[in-house]
């Protein structure tokens, strides 16, 4: 196997939503058998020429197969040029992926060949074995196993947005952080599918895990154990506290609740929603037991930044067990109702919100103490704290 992908050092945003503080890579792999040659995944269309140059430098004049493990354009964008450049190459993919590649106008039907779960394609002395793995994170994904070299190609699954000159994960602390953030942003809503796929690949002999973003893993157990932990039902003695404040009332409440939780031995991950990193908030949601959203009332409703945080948490479906709200209002409003209504996907027990009329008074601070005490009790029920 030879890496022929592209490192996108300067990319700073994905999906026009997710910050990429450390860039990313689009990994593309060349597998040469004694009779045929395959390329596994392409790269983003913006870096097609890098991949094409790498293939030329590797002396590749003919490709027999281009395996498209997943149709999202950061892996399939370059395939449009590749099928022109390598007219003999067949594009191998799941049925769903082929359908999407057609819809994205990347490959014509006559160049495609569907592969099924467990199907094998021989390259001569090497074999590609395909494993259907839908919903990590699209319905089309397949993994590719190369048994002779004990390499599992996993596309987005087990990957990380990390531009680095290290082909393999050498700095595991850095890769852990990047992979957890990536899991939070992309994979977390599909926790149950992830657990199923992890179970399924347990039976394979794997020396190398080769995702299509970030470094490869020579210690497969490092990333497999991390995913097993993140996707498990286990939560940590932590409260995620995203809040926004206009005139200081909600901030005073956030400060007070933070202290009250810390005094009870509960870790707090705070995010001022006027200046934060969406990826860091997503990552904090991976294993926190409780989320408390703080919002003032504006135009009779929740602050849009607080609503955005609620919508994001709802979309990411963290395994959080408890949720609550804190905030303030001047005369009336539907702030609490709007935020609660934005969280239908979360399987949480809602704890009574603490809402102050105007600047928080003693009775509001006492209510925050009671909220902190209730959170402590709930965490203890789960065996934490």
Binding site for ligand FEO (CB under 6 A): 70, 72, 74-75, 137, 156, 213
Helix (H, G, I), strand (E, B) or coil at 254: helix
CB of 98 to ligand FEO, least distance (A): 16
Beta bridge partners of 29: 3, 40
- Between residues 74 and 287, which has the closer beta carbon with respect to ligand FEO? 74
238, 287 contact by CB (below 8 A): yes
155, 76 contact by CB (below 8 A): no
* Number of residues that this document lists for the chain: 385
- Between residues 185 and 283, which has the closer beta carbon with respect to ligand FEO? 185
CB of 180 to ligand FEO, least distance (A): 16
CB of 61 to ligand FEO, least distance (A): 28
- Between residues 135 and 222, which has the closer beta carbon with respect to ligand FEO? 135
CB of 135 to ligand FEO, least distance (A): 11
| Separation CA 7–CA 24 (nearest Å) | 6
| Separation CA 102–CA 83 (nearest Å) | 13
Q: Is the dihedral of CA 279, 282, 284, 286 positive or negative?
A: negative
Q: Is the dihedral of CA 295, 296, 297, 303 positive or negative?
A: negative
- Between residues 5 and 296, which has the closer beta carbon with respect to ligand FEO? 5
DSSP-assigned letter for residue 186: I
CB of 75 to ligand FEO, least distance (A): 6
CB of 70 to ligand FEO, least distance (A): 6
Nearest partner of 126 among 282, 265, 313, 1, judged by Cα:
1
The 10 Å CB-count burial string (b at 16+, else e) for 312-324 is: bbbebbbbbbbbb
Residue nearest to ligand FEO (CB): 72
| Separation CA 297–CA 330 (nearest Å) | 7
- Between residues 194 and 372, which has the closer beta carbon with respect to ligand FEO? 194
- Between residues 14 and 256, which has the closer beta carbon with respect to ligand FEO? 14
């Amino acid at each position: 196997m030879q890496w022929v992908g592209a490192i996108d050092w300067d990319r700073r945003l994905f999906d026009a939503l997710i910050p990429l503080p450390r860039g990313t890579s689009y990994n593309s792999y060349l597998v040469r058998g004694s009779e045929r040659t395959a390329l596994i995944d392409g790269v983003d269309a913006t870096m097609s020429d890098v991949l094409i140059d790498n293939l030329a430098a590797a002396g590749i004049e003919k490709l027999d197969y281009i395996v498209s493990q997943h149709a999202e354009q950061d892996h399939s964008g370059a395939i449009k040029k590749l099928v022109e450049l390598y007219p003999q190459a067949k594009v191998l993919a799941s049925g769903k992926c082929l359908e999407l590649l057609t819809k994205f106008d990347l490959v014509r039907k006559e160049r495609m060949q569907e592969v099924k779960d467990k199907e094998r394609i021989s390259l001569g002395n090497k074999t590609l074995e395909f494993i259907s793995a839908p919903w990590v994170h699209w319905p089309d994904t397949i993994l590719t196993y190369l048994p002779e070299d004990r390499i599992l190609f996993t596309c987005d699954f087990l990957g990380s947005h990390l531009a680095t000159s290290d082909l393999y994960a050498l700095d595991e602390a850095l890769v852990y952080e990047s992979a957890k953030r990536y899991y939070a942003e992309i994979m977390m809503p599909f926790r149950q599918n992830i657990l199923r796929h992890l179970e399924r690949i347990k039976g394979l002999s794997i020396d190398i895990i080769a995702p299509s973003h970030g470094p490869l893993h020579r210690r497969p157990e490092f990333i497999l154990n991390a995913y097993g932990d993140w996707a498990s039902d286990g939560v940590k003695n932590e409260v995620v506290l995203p809040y926004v404040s206009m005139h200081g009332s909600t901030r005073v409440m956030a400060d007070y609740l933070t202290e009250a939780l810390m005094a009870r031995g509960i870790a707090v991950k705070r995010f001022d929603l006027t200046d934060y990193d969406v990826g860091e908030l997503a990552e904090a949601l991976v294993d926190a037991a409780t989320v408390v959203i703080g919002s003032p009332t504006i135009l009779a409703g929740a602050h849009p930044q607080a609503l955005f945080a609620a919508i994001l948490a709802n979309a990411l479906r963290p395994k959080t067990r408890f949720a609550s709200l804190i905030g303030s209002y001047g005369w009336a409003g539907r702030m609490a109702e709007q935020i609660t209504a934005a969280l239908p996907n979360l399987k949480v027990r809602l704890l009574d919100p603490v809402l102050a009329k105007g600047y928080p008074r003693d009775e509001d601070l006492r209510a925050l103490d009671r909220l902190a005490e209730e959170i402590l009790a709930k965490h203890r029920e789960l065996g934490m704290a």
